[in-house]
């Protein structure tokens, strides 16, 4: 029986690939996509989400527009939160896909999340791969909804290095107060997929060409996104493997399909919400030096071969 998930996205290039994997895999029932600000303003992330689903013939999956500003106050000065170090090349305003003919639902994402989770009789998995703004707002409105979630799989954070700042990963840096709320909420199982693991699962330009050669809509769209990411990374964040880029958000979907892709460590994760140089940092207690009990299962490595196999299997499917 497919696993039911809700995918919360700030759709730029890596979110797009995660959406396609989740929407096409027969092992996943993608109940809906909720959108949030982050890589771009929510107007853009919603439009891009609709473009992706239309392009792969999954416009039957509803899209709910979420919040467009942080849940918590920004207490440390920071650049425009919708900017990235690539000057917009990593996550363009409009993905290089045809305009969508479908439209977002009229109900807002936060209200829909609360209403849907309240009504669930079977557990569901939350997969937020953008700032945690929508999730924090929903559980603040009704903390009981966490009991309907069997697992929350979060793309965000970093132990060894950041990408928004030297200390912080972009999703958490955008709204660390929201992340703090989520990590303290009491979810039964939190899985954190930080940069440490996603940078172990790099995809190369040659592999992008393989996916393009599949000839499927998802293969073509994935190749476009990967090639954009490689160009942007080469300019702003060169990778250890030449002509490659991480596809952060897609690693979360790969984990749902085959947990072997990311070995997990049971650790305590805290969110820094006030530090001038460490604002948005995920403090991951890898050596158990703190007094707090582990609250998350954290992936610090990944198997690139397993990831690419799962990616290729998903985007080879045509609906």
Cβ atoms of 58 and 315 within 8 Å: the answer is no
What pLDDT was estimated at residue 87? 56
What digits encode the pLDDT tens for the residues 18-41? Answer: 999 999 999 999 999 999 999 999
Furthest C-alpha separation in the chain? 53
What pLDDT was estimated at residue 276? 85
What digits encode the pLDDT tens for the residues 110-163? Answer: 999 999 999 999 999 999 999 999 999 999 999 999 999 999 999 999 999 999
**pLDDT higher than threshold 50 for residue 82:** no
The CA-atom distances, in angstroms, between 266 and each of 49, 137, 158, 214, 286 are: 33, 26, 15, 38, 9
What digits encode the pLDDT tens for the residues 225-260? Answer: 999 999 998 888 888 899 999 999 999 999 999 999
Q: Which two tokens stand for residue 72?
A: 């918590």
Mean pLDDT of the chain, nearest integer? 94
- Helices 42-55 and 217-236 pack at an angle, to 10 degrees, of 140
| Close Cβ partners of 303 (under 8 Å, ≥ 6 residues apart) | 200, 201, 260, 261, 262
**pLDDT higher than threshold 80 for residue 85:** no
Instruction: Give catalytic status of residue 10 as yes or no.
Output: yes
Cα(116)–Cα(252) distance, rounded to whole angstroms? Answer: 22
**pLDDT higher than threshold 60 for residue 84:** no
What pLDDT was estimated at residue 240? 87
**pLDDT higher than threshold 60 for residue 310:** yes
What digits encode the pLDDT tens for the residues 163-176? Answer: 999 999 999 999 99
Cα(163)–Cα(279) distance, rounded to whole angstroms? Answer: 13
How many CB atoms neighbour CB 122 within 10 A?
8
Q: Which residues pair with 203 in a beta bridge?
A: 245
Average pLDDT over residues 294-304: 98
How many CB atoms neighbour CB 273 within 10 A?
21
CA dihedral 192, 155, 254, 246 (to 10 degrees): -120
The CA-atom distances, in angstroms, between 70 and each of 41, 45, 94, 174, 182 are: 11, 15, 22, 7, 14
Of the candidates 29, 61, 38, the one whose C-alpha atom is nearest the C-alpha of residue 256 is 29
What pLDDT was estimated at residue 81? 45
Catalytic residue among 10, 44, 84, 196: 10
What pLDDT was estimated at residue 78? 54
What pLDDT was estimated at residue 83? 46
Q: What is the CA radius of gyration of the chain?
A: 18
């Amino acid at each position: 029986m497919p696993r039911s998930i809700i995918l919360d996205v700030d759709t730029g290039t890596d979110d797009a690939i995660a959406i396609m994997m989740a929407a096409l895999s027969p092992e996943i029932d993608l109940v809906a996509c909720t959108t949030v600000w982050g890589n771009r303003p929510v107007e853009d992330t919603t439009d891009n989400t609709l473009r992706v689903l239309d392009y792969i013939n999954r416009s039957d999956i509803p899209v709910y527009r979420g919040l467009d500003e942080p849940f918590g106050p920004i207490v440390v000065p920071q650049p425009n939160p919708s900017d990235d170090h690539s000057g917009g090349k990593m996550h363009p305003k409009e993905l290089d896909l045809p305009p969508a003919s479908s439209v977002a639902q009229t109900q807002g994402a936060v209200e829909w999340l609360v209403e849907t989770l309240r009504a669930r009789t079977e557990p569901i998995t939350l997969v937020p791969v953008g700032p945690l703004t929508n999730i924090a707002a929903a559980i603040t409105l009704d903390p009981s909804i966490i009991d309907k979630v069997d697992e929350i799989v979060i793309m965000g954070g970093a132990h060894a290095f950041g990408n928004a700042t030297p200390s912080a990963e972009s999703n958490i840096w955008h709204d660390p107060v929201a992340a703090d709320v989520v990590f303290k909420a009491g979810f039964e199982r939190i899985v954190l997929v930080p940069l440490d693991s996603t940078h172990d699962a790099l995809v190369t330009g040659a592999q992008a060409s393989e996916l393009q050669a599949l000839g499927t809509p998802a293969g073509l769209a994935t190749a476009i996104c990967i090639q954009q990411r490689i160009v942007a990374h080469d300019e702003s964040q060169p990778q250890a493997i030449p002509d490659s880029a991480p596809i952060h958000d897609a690693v979360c979907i790969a984990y749902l399909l085959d947990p072997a892709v990311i070995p997990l460590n049971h650790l305590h994760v805290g969110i820094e919400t006030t530090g001038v140089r460490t604002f948005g940092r995920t403090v991951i207690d890898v050596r158990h030096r703190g007094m707090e009990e582990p609250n998350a299962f954290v992936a610090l490595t990944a198997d690139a071969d397993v990831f690419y196999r799962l990616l290729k299997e998903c985007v080879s499917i045509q609906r």
